[in-house]
Structure formats: C-alpha cells, structure tokens
Structure 1
Amino acid sequence: MIRLNNLALSKQIRKLSSSSKSSRSNLNQKNPKSDQQKEESKGNFASYAFFTIPSSFFALGVWQIKRRNEKLNLIKSLEERMDMEPSSLPINIQDLDTFINENQYRPFRVKGYFLNSKEILLTTRFDVTSKSNLPGGYVITPFVLSEDTNKIILINRGFVPFTSFSESARSKFHIDNQVELAGFLRADEPKCQLSHLNKPPNEWHIRDLKEMSQELGTEPIFLDQVKPFGLPSEPTPTQTQVDVKNDHLSYIFTWFGLSLSTFFIWLKYFAKIIP
C-alpha cells in the first residue's frame, strides 16, 4: 500500500516537473520576441528624439532668415529717412521717448546759438567721413534754441583729432553768433560690457542722453550736425551712420550647418542609410 502511494506520488512529481519545464520553455520562447519588441520601441523612441535636434536647428535657421529680412528692411527705411528734407524741431514734445524712437535718424532744422563754455568731448571716436585717419572725439556743445529761450539741446558738431583736444585748439572753431543748422536726431548709444563708462564732468565715452543732459543742464535731445553752409568745416560734421546690428547671416550658416551635420548623424545611427 505504501509502495502504491509512493508510485502515485512520484508520478505526480514527474507531471509537475514536466509541466514546469514546458512552462519554462514557453516562457523562453516568448521572451526573445518581447525583448526584441522592447528594443525596437526603444530604438524608435531614440530615433524620433534625436531627429528633433536637426529639426530644431533647421527651424532656427528659417527664423534667422526672417529676422535678417526684417533687419534689412529696417536699415533701408532708416537710410531713406536720412534722405528726407530737414523739418523744424517741434518745440513742445509730449512724450519725448516715443518721439525719439519714432524719429531717430530723421533730420531736423534748428536755430540758435552755442554755449561754447560747456562743450564736452565724446571719445574715443574715428572720423566716419575718412578725412582724418587719427583717433579723436566728437565735440558735443549745448545749443540754445531761439524759438524757445528756455530750451537747450545737445549738438554733436563733429569730429576733431586728438591733436585738437586742447581748449585753445578747439576755441578756433567756436561760433558766437546765432546760426541755423540741421542735424539727425539720435537716441542713446547701445552699451556693451567692453564700453567705458562716463565719468562726469570731464570724461565721456558713451552717448547717454539722460546723463549728459543732467550734467550740462539741457533737454535730452541730441542732434548729429550735418554739413552746414557758411559755417566752419571743422569740427568735421556728418558723423552719422545707420548703426543697426545685423549678424543674422552668420547665424543662418551656423544653424543650417548644425542642422545638416546632425541630420547626417541621424542617418548614420538611426536610419541606417549611410554605412
């Protein structure tokens, strides 16, 4: 009786072991397929994720093309504004900041006299007309408007080389009588980390309208004088160029170059086209 029970028990154990082996073999048969699917899904995800890199670079290149066209149109409009006939400078300006932003580089005509005793030098500058190869500065002189005796503005009379920095040398260019002249309206000069800071009252490097007007007791209105008729040719006037930074062409090559290089990397490692 015990032997029969042992035989029955051994048969049960064999059945269980055989069933466990079959289940293991079934698991072993299923695992490679599931692992392969997992690997494929991971590869697809990595491929899509990496493809966003060249796509993003390409989008940035297209955006830089748009920005460059906008900047070229802005420069063209400002140059056309400089060719306009000078108009009289308004006496009562309600919003000065808006007026300057909307009319920068536009020529205005003023009449009055210079306060030569308060003029300052804006250094270091170079003559944009190329009449002088020496470094120098701009002569900035307060100008009293005849139409309004209480209003004084700032006039950039032009460039002088460093050899004419002394007061005795600059006194030769002083004008004491009333004059009429025209000049381009200018805004604040862009500052950068390499710019030297102004050190009033005697050291000036940046066209900062608020700081200059407070020190000299004028309105924050700045005109770059153009070449006048019947006035001395020195300091050299017309020191105005459209100063709008336009580096977008280099950015276009950079972004499209990065897009192309990362696209080839994607082809090599994910698309399997390039061996």
Structure 2
Amino acid sequence: MFSKLGNLRCANKICYNSTVFLSCNSSLNQVAKPLLRPKPQKIYKIGPFGWFLLVVPASAFGLGTWQVQRKNWKESLLADLKARTGSEVVDLITNLDKLEDLEYKPVRVKGHFLHEKEMYMGPRSLLVTGDASNKSSLFTGKTNTSHGFLVVTPFQLSDTNEIILVNRGWVPAKNRDPKTREKGQVKEEVNLIGIVRLQENRPTFSLKNQEGSNIFFYRDINDMSKIAGTSKIFLDATDDYIIADGPLGGQTRISLRNEHMSYILTWYSLAAFTGFMWYAKFLK
C-alpha cells in the first residue's frame, strides 16, 4: 500500500512524505539513495611532439643498459688478462700459428741481445704493476716518468739461434741514447721471462710510424721484424728482469680504463628525470 500525500500509519509508524512514494511493508525499512554516476575517465591526448619527447628518456635508459653490458664485458676481459699474465711460465714455442694461444702468457727464453739493432716505442709513461704512474724509481730518481720510451731489442735464442724481439722496458727520454746507459747494455747470455704480445693495430689518434725509422708510435711487429731482420715474435720483459742502468721491465699494460659506472649513473639519472618530466607534462 502506498501513499503520496497525507498522514498514513504504516506498521504502527507515521510516514511523513509529500514528494516520494514509500513502501508501507514493515519488512522494508530502507531510505532511498540517489544514483551515483561513474566518473568519466580522463582521455589523454598526446600529440606527435609529445611522443617525440619520449625518445629522450627511452634513449637514456637504453644507453644506461648498454653501459652496464660494457662494464660487465670489460671486467671479464680484465680478469682474463690478469689470469693469463699470472699463469704458469712455459717454454717459448716459435710456431707462429700457435703463438696466438699464448698471448699475454709468460714464457721463458735464454739468449743474448743484439744491441746494435735497438729500436724504440714512444713516447710512453712508466707503468708500475701494469698501470701508468708518475712515481720515481731507482732508475729514474726524481725524473718525470710521464715521458720516456720503450727499448725494443732483437734477442737471439741460444737453443735455435732464432732472433725474436724483446721489449726490455722503459727509459726516460734523456736516456734513450744507449751511450747514457752503457752498463745496461749487457752482452753476456741472459735468462728472462717475457709476456707474449701480438701485432697492434694503429690506435685511432696515433701518428703513423715513419718508414725506415727506428722509433715507433705503436707496436708494429711486422715493420719492426723487417727492419731488424727478426721473426715476428715479440715479448715484453717482466719486472723480474732487472739490470743496473738498464730499462725498467714490466711494461705490459693489464689495466683497462673503466669509467662505465659513472656513465651508468649519468644515463639512468637522466632517464629518470626526463621520464618524470614527460609524465608530469602529458599524463599527470
């Protein structure tokens, strides 16, 4: 039973209402609630320029990820170099086809130097434990070690008479002339341990080696062997090879420039910042 106007008794209760219909059923004691309309969803309109700007954070994130991969690769390469240079010393094999397997590994040789065919690589900084250093040494005293040369000397093997190339080590520029270090020009037979090195490609910003010159800007074993009349075997003498007034051995660089962490932080920070700015501009 329903009532629109007036005073009616519904289940012992008086219902006062002049505008709405109420149910008089005693089992229903509810108040009518207005219908709630769903809030319309916001439609984002991103134009071509907005999508173009999204390239900035996306590219920065991609570059950051690439730097992570580069960092892992370089750390793996450095670990391999250290493992090779620290491996067990073996006898030198003169088979050039198998020499590549010995790259960066130590080998032992016995023979004597042919100083009259001495050559140089440089200018170079002194390496200490495989890294560049400006520290003084017993050889250099207070000399600036950022400028010098590597002395490359033909070495005749005692067992086969084959002649190879040996990087004896570093000397300051003022001592490049062998007359300034005559005591270090040993003539007797010597035993030494050397690190096997292979042909070096010309670095991007390096000058070209001058044809016929005994000064080289990079390790061009092919040209060096032609000039000195040797085989294409090249060793870096280790720092165990010490001769008074002689070059400082141990000039094999086993450190690699690794600044990838700073690049990672830079690119990821840029990606986060520009990504937030894009969100605030077009989506917020």
Shared fold (TM-score, shorter chain, > 0.5): yes
Partner of residue 86, structure 1: 89
Between the aligned residues of both structures, percent identity stands at 35
Partner of residue 265, structure 2: 253
After TM superposition, give the deviation of residue 230 of structure 1 in Å. Answer: 7.7
Partner of residue 246, structure 2: 234
After TM superposition, give the deviation of residue 41 of structure 1 in Å. Answer: 8.5
Aligned counterpart for 2:186 among listed residues 175, 185, 193:
175
Residue pair 1:85, 1:107 contacting (<8 A) in 2 also? yes
Query: SS where residue 96 of structure 2 aligns?
Result: coil
After TM superposition, give the deviation of residue 190 of structure 1 in Å. Answer: 5.5
Indicate the structure with greater strand content: 2
Question: Any stretches of 5+ residues in structure 1 without a counterpart?
Answer: 1-39
Partner of residue 149, structure 2: 137
After TM superposition, give the deviation of residue 79 of structure 1 in Å. Answer: 1.3
Aligned counterpart for 1:146 among listed residues 158, 172, 190:
158
**Which aligned pairs between 1:104-119 and structure 2 lie closer than 5 A?**
104-119=103-118
Tell me the TM-score normalized by structure 2. Answer: 0.70
Bigger mean CA offset, 68-77 vs 187-196: 187-196
Aligned counterpart for 1:218 among listed residues 193, 209, 230:
230
Tell me the TM-score normalized by structure 1. Answer: 0.72
Structure 1 residues 232 and 194, CA, compared in 2 at 3 Å: closer, same or farther?
A: same
Structure 1 residues 44 and 194, CA, compared in 2 at 3 Å: closer, same or farther?
A: closer
Residue pair 2:119, 2:214 contacting (<8 A) in 1 also? yes
Structure 1 residues 246 and 45, CA, compared in 2 at 3 Å: closer, same or farther?
A: same
Residue pair 1:209, 1:220 contacting (<8 A) in 2 also? yes
Residue 61 (structure 2) pairs with residue 58 (structure 1):
yes
**Which aligned pairs between 1:194-209 and structure 2 lie closer than 5 A?**
194-199=205-210, 200-209=212-221
**CA deviations over 1:31-88 (Å, ceiling 9, x no partner):** xxxxxxxxx7862665555434422321221221122012112112211222223111
Residue pair 2:108, 2:193 contacting (<8 A) in 1 also? yes
Query: SS where residue 266 of structure 1 aligns?
Result: helix
Distance in 1, Cα, partners of 2:215 & 2:249: 21
Structure 1 residues 255 and 228, CA, compared in 2 at 3 Å: closer, same or farther?
A: closer
Distance in 2, Cα, partners of 1:53 & 1:165: 52
Query: SS where residue 94 of structure 1 aligns?
Result: helix
Residue pair 1:50, 1:266 contacting (<8 A) in 2 also? yes
Distance in 2, Cα, partners of 1:187 & 1:260: 44
Structure 1 residue ranges (4+ consecutive) displaced by more than 6 angstroms after TM superposition:
none
Residue pair 2:183, 2:245 contacting (<8 A) in 1 also? no
Distance in 2, Cα, partners of 1:196 & 1:230: 31
Distance in 2, Cα, partners of 1:164 & 1:65: 44
Partner of residue 121, structure 1: 120
Residue pair 2:241, 2:249 contacting (<8 A) in 1 also? no
After TM superposition, give the deviation of residue 229 of structure 1 in Å. Answer: 6.2
Distance in 2, Cα, partners of 1:189 & 1:247: 23
Distance in 1, Cα, partners of 2:276 & 2:242: 66
**CA deviations over 1:96-120 (Å, ceiling 9, x no partner):** 5xx1xx4332111111111111011
Q: Figure out how many residues of one structure are paired with residues of the other and give that number.
A: 228
Partner of residue 33, structure 1: none
Partner of residue 155, structure 1: 166
Distance in 2, Cα, partners of 1:176 & 1:210: 26
Q: Larger Cα Rg: Structure 1 or Structure 2? A: 2
**CA deviations over 1:151-178 (Å, ceiling 9, x no partner):** 3211011111222222322433112222
